[in-house]
Structure 1
Amino acid sequence: MITDLSRLRKNYKKRNVFNKIPDNPFYLFDDWFQNEILIQKKNNINQEVNAMSLSTIGKDGGPETRIVLLKEYSKNGFIFYTNYLSSKGISIKNFPKVCLSFFWNRTDRQIIIKGVTSKLKIKKSNEYFDKRPIENQLSSWSSRQSTFILNKDFLEKKYKKWSFFFKNKKITRPFYWGGYIVSPYKIEFWQGQPNRLHNRLVYQLKEDKIWIVKQLSP
C-alpha cells in the first residue's frame, strides 16, 4: 500500500523572531510555556500543554519514544513521574541520557531538550504522589507497567483488589513508582516561519555551567 502525503503541508505564517535572547534558556522556556497556557485559556481549549515526548535508548540499543507529562520545571531541570520498573525506567537506569520534545501547533513552536536523568528524592516523590487523585494512586498499584497481561479484565480485577485493600486507609506510594528530573545540557528552540526559513536557537551548557547560545540554519 502506498499513500502519497506530498501535498500535506502547512505554510507557516507567523513571523515571530528572537528579539530578546536571554542568557539562560529556562527564561525562554518559561516564556513559551506560559504563553501556551494563556492561549488555551483565551480560546477555552483543554489540551495538555505539558505533554512531551521522552526518548530513551532501549535494551536492543535502539531509540524508544513515548509521551509523558511534565509536572514541574525550574533552573534545575524538568520533572516527570513514572514506574521505575517500566521499559522507560529500565532504559533510563541503563542509559540516563534522554531527549525531551515539545510541539505546540497553534504557535508553530518546538523545543528539544537533551539531558541527564536522575531519580528524585523519596520525599519529593511522596509529596507528589499524595497530591494525585485516588484513582490514579490505585492505578499505580494495579499496573506493573510494560509487563504482559492476559486481558483488560485482569487489570480491572487488580484495581478492585487494591481499592478494597486501601479502603479507609491512606494510599502509600509504591516503591517502584516515583519521579525523575532531567538536567539539561542542550536546549533548542524552533519557531516555524514562512518559506521554511524557520528560526532555530540552540543553547549548549559548558563545563563552567555557562550557557552558550547560537542560531542555526533551518
Structure 2
Amino acid sequence: MELESIRRDYLKDGLLRKNLPDDPVEQFEFWLDQAVKADLPDPTAMTLATVDEDGQPSQRIVLLKHLDAAGLVFYTNYESRKALEIARNPRVSLHFPWHALERQVKICGSAERVGLMESLNYFSSRPQESQLAAWASAQSRPISSRQMLMKQFYAMKEKFKEGKIPLPDFWGGYRVTPTVIEFWQGGAHRLHDRFQYTRTDEGWSIERLAP
C-alpha cells in the first residue's frame, strides 16, 4: 500500500468566528444535530482517552448518552480499565470524528461519577439483553473464551428471569465537565478552521488556532 498517496481535499464548509456562539455547548449541539440528521453511522460515538499510573494513554470508543450545560455523560463498568484510570487521574479527553462532514471536536476536561438515580434511570431504559450483558461481563479482565462469556450471560438471564433486572453496583455513568473544547472544520489545501474554547472564571474565551 502506498499510504503516502492516500489523501483528499476538504471543501464542504468553513468556520468563521462571527458565526460562533459564546457557549461551546450550543455550538456542539448544533454540530451534533447536523451529524444525526446526516445519518452518519454512530454520530454519538466518541473516543475516550485516559492515562494510567505510568503516564501511558489508552483510548476506546464509548457512546454519548446525555449532554447538558454540566457536561457529557457516558456509561461503563466501574471496575473496567477506563474506570480505574479515571479513579487515579480524572483528567480525560474526548474526540468526535465526523469524517463525512469534515469535522472533528476535541474536548478536554475532568470525569466524575453521576448520581445513583441518574445511572438507574439510564440502566432501566436499556434493552434487557444490554442489562444482562452489564452483569455478565467483567469488563477489561482476561477471559478464557467467548463460550465462557456466553455461559455467564445465560446464567444471568436465568438468575433474573423474573422481575426487573437490578442495576449492578459496579456499573454506572461518568460526566465529563469540559475545560477546553476545540472545533475543527476541514479546509482546502490543509488550511483548516480551528477554534478553541477555554473555560475561564468569567465564562469561555475563544481563539482561532493555526491548522
Counterpart position of 1:16:
14
The alpha-carbon deviation at position 15 of structure 1 amounts to: 3.4
Given the alignment, which residue of 191, 198, 201 partners 1:197? 191
- The match for 2:210 among 186, 197, 217 is 217
Residue of structure 1 in register with 2:148 after alignment: 154
Query: What is the TM-score when the length of structure 2 is the normalising length?
Result: 0.97
User: What is the CA-CA distance between 1:16 and the residue it aligns to?
Assistant: 1.9
Query: Post-superposition shift, 1:13?
Result: 1.3
CA displacement 1:167-213 (0-9 Å, x = unmatched): 1121001000000000000000000000110000000001x251000
Distance 1:82 1:11 in 2: 37
Give CA-to-partner distance per residue, 1:71-127, whole Å, 9 cap, x none. Answer: 011111000000010000000000000000001111100000001100000010000
The reply to whether residue 131 of structure 1 matches residue 131 of structure 2 is no
Q: Secondary structure of the equivalent of 1:61? A: coil
2:209 partner letter:
L
Instruction: Give 1:87-102 correspondences, 5 Å limit.
Output: 87-102=81-96
| One-letter amino acid matched to 1:213 | I
For 2:59, give the aligned amino acid: T
Aligned pair 1:108/2:106, yes or no? no
The aligned length equals 210
Structure 1: which amino acid aligns with 2:81?
Answer: S
Q: Could you say what the CA RMSD is over the residues aligned between the two structures, in angstroms? A: 1.0
| Greater alpha carbon shift after TM alignment, 17-26 vs 146-155 | 17-26
Match of 1:65 in 2: 59
Aligned-residue identity in percent: 39
User: Which among 74, 79, 89 is matched to residue 80 of structure 1?
Assistant: 74
- Would the alpha carbon gap of residues 48 and 143 (structure 1) be closer, same or farther in structure 2, given more than 3 Å must change? same
Matching residue of 2:139: 145
1:17 Cα deviation (Å)?
A: 2.2
CA distance in 2, matches of 1:104, 1:68: 15
- What is residue 171 of structure 2 aligned with on the other side? 177
Q: 2-side partners of 1:71 and 1:201: how far apart?
A: 25
CA distance in 2, matches of 1:141, 1:68: 18
Unaligned ranges ≥5, structure 1: none
Provide closer, same or farther for how the CA distance between residues 209 and 159 of structure 1 changes in structure 2, counting only shifts above 3 A: farther
- How far did residue 59 of structure 1 move? 3.3
- Cα deviations by residue, 1:137-181 (Å, 9 ceiling, x for unpaired): 000000010111111111111011110000112100100000000
- State the shift of 1:55 in Å: 0.1
Structure 1 residues 209 and 124: CA distance shift in structure 2, 3 A: farther
Q: Distance in 2 between matches of 1:87 and 1:128?
A: 22
Amino acid at match of 2:205: I
The one-letter code of the counterpart of 1:102 is F
1:28 aligns with 2:27: yes
